[in-house]
Structure 1
Amino acid sequence: MRAVQITEFGGPGVLNVVDVPEPEAGDGQKLYDVSTAGVNFADTHQIENSYLAAQQLPLIPGAEFVGTPVGGGQRVVGLLDGGGYAERVAANDRLTWAVPDAVSDEQALSLVLQGTTAWHLLRTSAHLAEGETVVVIAGAGGVGSLAVQLARRWGAGRVIATASSPEKRALAEELGAHATVDPALADDDPKQFTGALREANGGKPVDIVLEMTGGNVFSGSLSALAPFGRLVTYGMAARQETPSVPPGMLMQKSRAVLGFWLAHCMARPDMLDAAMTDLLAMTADGSLKPVAGGRYPLSNVKDAHQDLLARRTTGKLVLDPRR
């Protein structure tokens, strides 16, 4: 079967489409013909071997797919521990969910990793309370575009999104953000970014920040928090070390810094079931609108990664393994 495989770590140039043996289903697994594979920012870390878990070569990237069981059956969306950039995958029964007819492949893939991340960032980690101000870093991205909508739906008093271009800031506002901020303000001085976030909140500090960049964006976001504010970090897009956080800085304002990694939910499938049941129902009835970011042939996987790294994309990127 055709699959994307890497035999060395690096940038998009290490991604190659090759013929590999088909996977074999283990206990509690089924084989699926993949109709669409999802692309995530974490995949760019995986192929560099710069992510949270060390990678082993050779590897087939990809943590999510939509497909049907080999031989026919119900269309499902599923999570994988790798191997998704391929024509066939073996998936665990507890990590697949039936896709309603009203939900497209692209929408389903927006939900299974990015949507469940947004859901748990707000519900499980930040414990969003009605009326609180939420800052969503990268509010036009895969996780961010859903987090903006969920924060509004769940009673946030004000939602502020960051986005790197006027077009992305306009999209975040269309999705429900009350105000937007250019994250480039953090490039030279995190204090300038702190000021912009507070200005967007009427001069007041903010309650929650969902942060996936690191570096100055992390520092500026932390300083923008109100007493009892929570910063939830779930990514390292800037490829910069996040500054250390002195305990006194947290105590002085009763602030909290939390980390989130969806892999821990994969070990507790009930946590994913709760999120997916909610997200699929909202998408099917039209109250949640995942943003499609582009469909690429499997043969153009390098372009997908380059576009993602260059911040040329919004919403969810997917691969078509049949092309």
Structure 2
Amino acid sequence: MRAIQQVEFGGPEVLKLVELPVPEPAEGEVLVRVSRAGVNFADTHQREDQYVARQSLPLTPGSEVAGVREDTGQRVVALCGHGGYAEYALAPADRVFPIPEGLDDGTALALLLQGLTAWHLYRTCARIADGESVLVVSGAGGVGSLAVQLARPMGAGRVIATASSEEKRALCLSLGADAAIDGDPDGLRDRLLEANEGREVDVVLEMAGGPVFDVALRAMADMGRLVVYGISSREQNEVRTGRLLKRSQSIVGFWLFHYLERTEHLATPLAELFALAASGQVRAVVGETYGLSEARRAQEDLAARRTRGKLLLDPSR
């Protein structure tokens, strides 16, 4: 089968298109014939072995796929962990979910890893209360575009998003944000307070790290919660505990893969996400589909912030 493999860690140039044997499923595993593979920012960290979990070589990237079960012929999405950038992928049987009729592969994939992340940011981590204001950093991205839309169904009041261009800010507004502002750290706190009608924000969903994290924390209200689910800037932050104590603020870290061992953390929220999509309350923003041979370009475009929404790979080209 055609697959992307790397035998060393490094830049996008280590991603090579190769021929590999079709994997054989072990007991409790499902073999999926891949129609689309999801591309995520975490893939760029894994490529350099700078991800939350240490990686091993050789590595076929790709943590999620949509396709057809080889044993039943059922259309599914699957969390495979690794191996998704290929024509066939293995996944644990309890991490394989049927795609509802009428839902396309791109939408189903967007609602899988990124949709589940957005759901847990609100429900599990921030535990948002009715009417609270929300700041979604990078609201035009894969997780961000879904988090903007989920804010209202989750009970949020005012919703503010950051984005790096006028086009992306217009997208955030079309998805339901009350305000969309430039995410550049310079002057961000003032823009955020103005967008929130002079008030500090209650909940922050943050995936950049570095200066953006520091500014967002300074713009957060008493008893506010800042949820960290990424470090796209690759800049770590330090926090003074006295500040958290004085303002009763919380900082919560989230990594979806800690939640994979309990089915209720996956199946129940995913069913809710599929229902919201079917009712039109949530629209997955599906970005460009690249050929498998273009995996390098896909990661380069993602890292350079030239993309929006969910990026896909098509293993047939």
Give the alignment's TM-score, normalised by structure 1: 0.96
Query: Which residue in 2 is equivalent to 1:259?
Result: 253
Flag structure 2 segments of 5+ consecutive residues without an equivalent.
none
Residues 1:290 and 2:284 are matched in the alignment: yes
The AA in structure 2 aligned to 1:34 is: V
Counterpart residue number, 1:247: 241
> In 2, distance between residues paired with 1:263 and 1:299?
27
Residue 194 (structure 1) shift: 1.9
Tell me what 2:316 maps to.
Answer: 322
Cα offset for 1:71? 5.3
Query: How much does 1:54 deviate?
Result: 0.7
Question: d(CA) in 2 for partners of 1:30 and 1:147?
Answer: 30
Task: Report what 1:275 is aligned to.
Answer: 269
1:193 pairs with 2:188 = yes
Is 1:313 equivalent to 2:313 in the alignment? Answer: no
Distance across 1 between alignment mates of 2:153 and 2:251 = 24
Query: How far apart are 1:269 and its partner, in Å?
Result: 2.1
CA–CA distance in 2 between the matches of 1:225 and 1:79? 34
- 1:7 equivalent to 2:7? Answer yes
Q: Which runs of 5+ in 1 are unaligned?
A: none
The answer for the alignment partner of 2:200 in structure 1 is 205
The answer for the alignment partner of 1:141 in structure 2 is: 141
Residue of structure 2 in register with 1:70 after alignment: 70
Partner residue in 2 for 1:47: 47
Deviation at 1:231, TM superposition (A): 0.1
Instruction: Give the share of equivalent positions with the same residue, in percent.
Output: 53
User: In the alignment, residue 276 of structure 1 is paired with which amino acid?
Assistant: L
Q: Secondary structure at the match of 2:199?
A: coil
C-alpha separation in 2, matches of 1:182 and 1:206:
16
1:251, distance to aligned residue in structure 2 (A) = 1.0
Return the alpha-carbon distance in structure 2 between the equivalents of residues 25 and 283 of structure 1.
Answer: 32
SS at match of 1:49: coil
* d(CA) in 1 for partners of 2:67, 2:26: 18
- Provide the rounded CA distance (Å) in 2 between the counterparts of 1:148 and 1:75: 28
1:72: Cα distance to partner? 4.8
8 Å CA contact 2:31, 2:71 repeated in 1: no
Report the Cα distance in structure 1 between the residues aligned to 2:101 and 2:68, rounded to whole angstroms: 13
Q: Which residue identity lines up with residue 247 of structure 1 in the other structure?
A: T
What is the alpha-carbon distance in structure 2 between the residues aligned to residue 320 and residue 142 of structure 1?
18
Q: Match for 2:295 among 292, 301, 307? A: 301
CA distance in 2, matches of 1:155, 1:173: 18
User: Where in structure 2 are the equivalents of 1:10-49 lying within 5 Å?
Assistant: 10-49=10-49
**Which residue identity lines up with residue 234 of structure 1 in the other structure?**
Y
Other-structure match for 1:154: 154
How far the C-alpha of 1:197 sits from its partner, in A, is 1.3
| Aligned match of 1:84 | 84
Offset of residue 286 of structure 1: 2.1
| Partner of residue 216, structure 1 | 211
Contact residue 149 and residue 281 of structure 2 kept, 8 A: no
Shift of 1:157: 1.0
1:57 aligned residue: 57
**What is the aligned partner in structure 2 of residue 127 from structure 1?**
127
Deviation at 1:303?
Answer: 1.1
TM-score computed with the length of structure 2 as normaliser: 0.98
Q: 1:19-55: CA deviations, max 9, x gaps?
A: 1122121121121111111000100111011111111
AA aligned to 2:63 is A
Query: How far apart, CA to CA, are the structure 2 residues paired with 1:230 and 1:287?
Result: 25
Match of 1:152, SS? coil
What is the RMSD of the two structures over their aligned residues, measured on CA atoms? Answer: 1.0
| Shift in Å, 1:183 | 1.2
Question: What's the offset of the Cα at 1:124?
Answer: 0.6
